[in-house]
Structure 1
């Protein structure tokens, strides 16, 4: 097998697990978890934020390991964390074990994306690198669809959520084995180590990308943490049991998110400032629909679809925007942007859970929509720069 296919397939499997069931599974199964473990909305927000804190820590460790040991160790370690975490969730008998499992599972997302840029850069010929990286990122959307479909089919068949998580763990173990083999030739880190001058990343021209990353982290994680539970508590959509309706959210979310593959073409047509405005407004409308129409097929499908498009396209935007701003240190620059996203991901669910416990879930989603809409209105074309950032 050529390096192109070997690394593309391995990366596809890694992101499908890490950004599919490992990262989204808690929100997907929150209705069941709330029933079994008597979890309040405030506690659910705390557990979700704890998991996204794992994502934050994973990014830092991954950057450190990749710079010193090459891409293989962080990717393998991340998939090992996903396997262990999802296994713990499957057997959890109390809230502590459940929380630890969620933390380890979501830790994997921080490990399992950015190192592939390094591995592909080393082994895949230049003309095929964009295609390979696109295939790796596509694993995210299909992983989310697969997780939602598995939950839907198992619920219809009356199979326990524990078996579902056990199968996720088996899939993660298989991805771990594939990546262990595929990355055996990825090599060690480069012998030339440039000083990590993180302060060089933060300038006036780079403020917008970090601000949008922070906002994106808040709004997207509030949605994936609470949307399924919002629908279940509202009684579900007509024709589906309440506990199955959350699966519909994630299936639509992942399927529509595959449109992220055409982000570059859309950006060429609209320009970066307008693309960012449209994505933020899509996020706002998505939250409004889940707040006001959680028991409507049209409301749920459109809401999940818009959120999936927003998440996948914004991820792509942040990747190529970061690459333009920090051409001299792309991995470090992109890691800094993802850390801003991770900070929002930690703050968002815990704040939203607390807000919902005082003002209600509808108000929580409307407040999230207001944040996204305000960010869209705040964008000024003159401040959105794609100029390469001097080192």
Structure 2
């Protein structure tokens, strides 16, 4: 079975945690002791129903405030597919957490309250999903039970969101009316909305096609570790371990190693279970080459005629994550790109982006917590990078403060000329 990673987003109180709780409950992936604990807490709080949101709101502060703060990861499976859910915060001050949760997602699920319609946070999270190149977006119009399952209300929200999404790069958009509290259209189709002829949310999640979203054309294999066993039986063994970031690796393929430029052929592709015929994203494998080449952590294995351009100058969109210090021109940071780590300097802040109006403030001199902007960086060593729109792994990076070792920013390398 394949795995679907999806992130939930939306404004505060739109019902994200309740929806996930409903998915877990209706797919029978909640343990009895978990359910008993949730029922007990619900009774203690004076609620006359089982609050399924408590299944994901695990922090005490979350339960006290009734909001999601941290990124809560949950796992469940159906006979068709395995799922990893990132329940991301809706509050504006936790934008960085939403970026973290959605950065590896195959699908973003944005909730809106049917009573309120689209709000600022709905647009903000849809924009972030498009900025992070999440290939599939599902808009769930929640709390339909509180508007008497009105088709007119749903159609108005769907029309408004479709017009807004037309300004963004969203390749696949699906809109589903649901009631997380009552379970309408979550796992099975609802009799309360006969006017809706689409699939339920779970059916859509089980059948959305994600295999073609991964880049299987451009071979990218960042070397994470060089395996040299010290045993006499393995003294000739030299393997390069890492996770395939793009393309397909097969025995006999001609490859190029960057930054050295040496070429060789693949002698074998191996996993913990033995040799395999081919490897593709996101498999973790060990690659052996026919020739002994000086390769170390941070090097990139690719094709001779299809390679990233090593560059020390990087244009990127940055989401700033540090609450104690702002990004400023001239500041120095550590940049972590795939398996390569280097130092870099912020040469220029080109503009700060207002993600509500999409306005570019070209006079901005700094980026504060949760703000997003376009920057130009200069690194001390070349980075083997692609545009983020081409490959999310080789096009993404993080910035680290050398003094505190905190991750202060997450970046997406921009297309040239954009």
| Smaller-chain TM-score bracket | under 0.3
TM-score w.r.t. length of structure 2: 0.23
Larger radius of gyration: 2
- Which structure's relative contact order is higher, taking Cα pairs within 8 Å and 6+ residues apart? 1
The structure carrying a bigger helix percent of its residues is 1
More strand by share: 2
Give me the TM-score of the superposition, normalised by structure 1: 0.25
